[in-house]
Structure 1
Amino acid sequence: MTAFVLPSSVTVVDHPLVRHKMGLLRDVRTPTALFRLLARELSLLLTYEATRNLALETVEIDTPLEPMQAERLSGKKLCFVSILRAGNGILDGMLDLVPSARVGHVGLFRDPQTLRPVEYYLKLPDDLVNRDCIVVDPMLATGHSAVAAIDSVKKAGAKNVVFVCLLAAPEGVECLTQAHPDVKVVTCAVDRGLDDHGYIRPGLGDAGDRLFGTK
């Protein structure tokens, strides 16, 4: 078997705080409320990396002591697109950091036999062509749902797309980067691989069930 090589388009955020919080997130003993809080905190840290290349402009402001040149965001506005339902578990943390962002939703469920995504809901801003787009889902497992969601946002006009997840598998990374080589991926970790049921190992279980207490 060929060894997996992480593509240059994938950024693993390996800050000590991220690694610490991911260890807590993975732990089977972590209760729902703490799992949800950790996912929200991790989403903040991931958003810093995902928005690293946002354009800035210089503006004149007055501090309490004197005028100065300060920097503010400029250019295209952001849109976060959550893959339902688990994507909402990290969406709120991202909105804490960028409250002015527009929000879209893609509803997908995985066919248990084929493991392929089936779209049941799609609601995106009308002006997606004028916005940088960050698609969010806690897990990048087979990669099929991520690819389908990115297909939809690109079809709606998005030109610059980033995919953000808490955890990825090599199979998902390869699937996404082959289908969308222009899309940057930001994640906390890339695990060993998938089991026969399409779950990431060692992973953290079903992110949606752990976020919403439905396990």
Structure 2
Amino acid sequence: MTLAFQLVDHPLMQHKLSYLRMAETTTDTFRRLVREIAAMLAYEVTRDLPTEPIRVTTPVAECETPVISGKKLCLVSILRAGNGMLDGMIDLLPAARVGHVGLFRDPTTLEPIEYYFKVPDDIGDRLVIVVDPMLATGNSAVAALTRLKQAGVTTLKLVCLLGSPEGVRAVQQAHPDVPITLAGLDSHLDEHGYIVPGLGDAGDRIFGTR
């Protein structure tokens, strides 16, 4: 399968991603960079939102100008690392609702196990943007997207900082209707299912737990 996804290669984003990768980057700097990159990704992933014209009165004259129309947004974080991206996304999308899917990866099988699910009651009427810093094996993303579709969601997008070809392929095979937006695509996964060269465990680096 040919990998098809949006890779945001803006020089400023790539600059910030390079500092995220560095082992010596401190926890506070890592959090700030994740937030900044998330905001830039929010800008890109909402580029195709529909608009409709309204009439406003400026200090100079009356005019017709566009505002966002259509489905309202919901951001869904794949716990726990996805929470590190929420602030940056909300900075740009302050009216968005927020949901959470709690998944942990079985260390032996690498398969996701759900332990928490909380989303708005009307999530089926919303465009849902799922956020998770790392798209490694793709198992967690596939499970989260499947769960959201079971909850009635019909319009989904997936946004990650880094991905692997294996992870992109897994999501595309399971959910070919879900667009993927990445800040970076690395070469492969190691024997433990970590992205190489990657940036380490995003959750541990965001929350300072290792």
TM-score range, shorter chain: over 0.9
How do 1:95-134 and structure 2 match up within 5 A? 95-134=90-129
Partner of 1:198: 193
Partner of 2:136: 141
- Given the alignment of the two structures, is residue 84 of structure 1 paired with residue 79 of structure 2, yes or no? yes
Q: State how far apart, in whole Å, the 1-side matches of 2:128 and 2:24 are.
A: 35
Q: State how far apart, in whole Å, the 1-side matches of 2:148 and 2:49 are.
A: 19
Partner of 1:208: 203
Runs of 4 or more consecutive aligned structure 1 residues displaced over 2 Å after TM superposition? none
- Given the alignment of the two structures, is residue 66 of structure 1 paired with residue 61 of structure 2, yes or no? yes
Tell me the percent identity: 58
Secondary structure in 2 matching 1:208: helix
What is the CA deviation profile of residues 60-115 of structure 1, one whole-angstrom value per residue up to 9, with x for unaligned ones?
A: 00111111111111111000000000000001110110111111000000000000
Q: State how far apart, in whole Å, the 1-side matches of 2:80 and 2:52 are.
A: 36
Task: Provide TM-score, normalisation by structure 1.
Answer: 0.96
Instruction: Give 1:119 shift.
Output: 0.1
How do 1:11-22 and structure 2 match up within 5 A? 11-22=6-17
Aligned with residue 180 of structure 1, among 167, 175, 180:
175
Q: State how far apart, in whole Å, the 1-side matches of 2:152 and 2:87 are.
A: 24
Partner of 2:3: 6
Gaps of 5+ in 2: none
Q: State how far apart, in whole Å, the 2-side matches of 1:95 and 1:19 are.
A: 21
Secondary structure in 1 matching 2:14: helix
Partner of 1:40: 35
Q: Superposition RMSD on alpha carbons, in Å?
A: 0.8
Instruction: Give 1:6 shift.
Output: 2.4
Secondary structure in 1 matching 2:20: helix
